Amino acid sequence: MKVRIRDIVEALGALVLVAGEMERGEVSGGYCGDLLSDCIANAEEGSVWVTVQSHPNVVAVASLVGIPCIVITNNQEVQEQTLEKAREQGITILKTPLSSFEAVSALSRLGISGKKRHV
Amino acid sequence: MPEEHPLIEMEREIAGGDFQRAGDVSSELKNILQRAGFPPAFNRRVVIASYEAEMNVVIHAYRGVFRARVYSDRVHVEIDDQGPGIPDLELAFQEGYSTAPPHIREMGFGAGYGLSNMKKCSDVLVIDTRVQEGTKVVMDFFLSPSNS
Ligand SMILES: Nc1ncnc2c1ncn2[C@@H]1O[C@H](COP(=O)(O)OP(=O)(O)OP(=O)(O)O)[C@@H](O)[C@H]1O
Ligand SMILES: [Mg+2]
């Protein structure tokens, strides 16, 4: 099932820090985690990634995996370099006051399911 | 058999400690592989392993050189760094083993999965390391008929 990124913004009460391809963008699954080598190995292309990490390498990992939308939880401060990198790559960055658990629950209610892939 | 000419060659410097640009080299390789038309599952293997090797230079070493050679049916990647080297390779390969300091772990690195990701993703992995000199990681990826 595909879910529009715009619907994610609403469901999470999120702030759009970088729009990226938000207008047309969709996700087909989700992944949650704060360890970069875990995400790069296990997340599926096309997923939304929920994390508290907000430094620029998060965007690098998202771009390598093919993640169109990153949700940064707990209102973590996001570095300007992270936003810059996301703009270059066309990746949507959302920030929400929700915790990662709350955010995942909300995404799940939208119909997004967890996807994991094995290397 | 004469040495086949690569279709594409790439050589980039990696700066230790530069987290802003970390991952850029692997990104560039991903773009090259996509443009060359390799299957996504194959590209993913190459890119994950390259990213982990690139990050290990950024996190653990002082500087390194990343070289990739793309052939019609395989990709060869070498990452040669100047750095502390790895005193106990067997230990380093254990999942969860990491010497990354706390401020690096806070960023979500240092889970200790990099080397095992590299091993899982590559078809051949050779590491030559000398303590207080550096580490050379050589990986080969073969495009299999099952296209990954
Ligand atoms: N290029 C390198 N130079 C020096 N030491 C290295 C290098 N690569 C790996 N190591 C050592 O091997 C350990 C394990 O590496 P590995 O990539 O598996 O985990 P990590 O880098 O610590 O964490 P992660 O990759 O999950 O972020 C490192 O903590 C470090 O001690
Ligand atoms: Mg590593």
Averaged pLDDT, A107-118: 94
Instruction: Report the sign of the C-alpha dihedral through residues A54, A55, A61, A66, in that order.
Output: positive
Which residues 24-43 in chain A show a CB within 8 A of chain B?
A: 34-38, 40-41
What would the pLDDT profile of B56-107 be if each residue is shown by its tens digit? 999 999 999 999 999 999 999 999 999 999 999 999 999 999 999 999 999 9
Question: Is B26 in the A-facing interface, judged by CB distances under 8 Å?
Answer: yes
A&B contacts, CB < 8 Å: 70
Q: Which atom of ligand 1 is nearest to the CA of B104?
A: 27
Would you say residue A69 lies in a domain?
Answer: yes
What would the pLDDT profile of B119-139 be if each residue is shown by its tens digit? 999 999 999 999 999 999 999
Contact B46, B29 (CB under 8 A): yes
C-alpha span between A39 and B63 (Å, rounded): 25
Identify the residue among A32, A36, A54 best suited for mutation to test binding to B, counting B beta carbons within 10 A and taking the highest.
A36
Counting ligands in written order, the one closest to the CA of B120 is: 1
Indicate yes or no: CB of A36 within 8 angstroms of CB of B20. no
Would you say residue A36 lies in a domain?
Answer: yes
pLDDT for the residue numbered B3? 73
pLDDT for the residue numbered A2? 95
Q: Look up the domain containing A46 and give its range.
A: 3-109
Would you say residue A76 lies in a domain?
Answer: yes
Whole-prediction pTM value?
0.94
CATH code of the domain in which A21 resides: 3.40.1390.20
Would you say residue A116 lies in a domain?
Answer: no
Question: What CATH number does the domain located at B8-147 have?
Answer: 3.30.565.10
Would you say residue A119 lies in a domain?
Answer: no
Q: For residue B101, list its beta bridge partners.
A: none
DSSP state of B94: S
Around B51, how many Cα atoms within 13 Å sit in the side-chain half-sphere? 30
Q: Tokens standing for B12?
A: 């980039």
Contact B100, B110 (CB under 8 A): yes
Would you say residue A114 lies in a domain?
Answer: no
Q: How many domains does chain A have?
A: 1
Q: For residue A94, list its beta bridge partners.
A: A16, A71
B94–chain A nearest CA distance, Å: 14
pLDDT for the residue numbered B145? 74
